[in-house]
Amino acid sequence: MRIEARALRMAGRLSPSDFAAGEGELIGLVGPNGSGKTSFLRGLAGITGEADRLCIDGEPLCSLPPAARAHRIAYLPASRLLEWPIPVSRVLRLSPSPVEEDSVERMVAHLELEPLLDRPSNALSTGERGRVLLGRALALEPSVLLLDEPLANLDPYWVLKVTDLLEDAAAGGTTIIAALHDLALVGRFGRLLLMREGQIIADGKSEKVANEPLFAATFRLHGAAPSWTL
- Within this chain, do residues 2 and 55 fall inside the same structural domain, yes or no? yes
- Give mean pLDDT, residues 149-177: 96
Outline where the chain has alpha helix (H).
Answer: 37-44, 66-72, 88-91, 101-110, 126-139, 156-171, 206-210, 213-218
The whole-number pLDDT of residue 89 equals: 97
Number of domains in the chain: 2
Asked if residue 181 is part of any domain, the answer here is yes
Q: What is the pTM of this model?
A: 0.94
Residue-wise pLDDT for 15-65, tens only, equals 777 899 999 999 999 999 999 999 999 999 988 777 778 888 888 888 888
**CA 103 → CA 92, 117, 135, distances in Å?**
10, 15, 9
Q: For residue 93, what are the domain limits?
A: 82-141
Name the E strands within 22-63: 26-30, 53-56, 59-60
- Give mean pLDDT, residues 72-78: 93
Asked if residue 12 is part of any domain, the answer here is yes
DSSP 120-162: BGGGS-HHHHHHHHHHHHHHT--SEEEEESTTTT--HHHHHHH
Residues pairing with 64 in the sheet: none
Asked if residue 179 is part of any domain, the answer here is yes
- Within this chain, do residues 87 and 51 fall inside the same structural domain, yes or no? no
Asked if residue 117 is part of any domain, the answer here is yes
Asked if residue 22 is part of any domain, the answer here is yes
Asked if residue 226 is part of any domain, the answer here is no
Q: Is the pLDDT of residue 12 over 70?
A: no
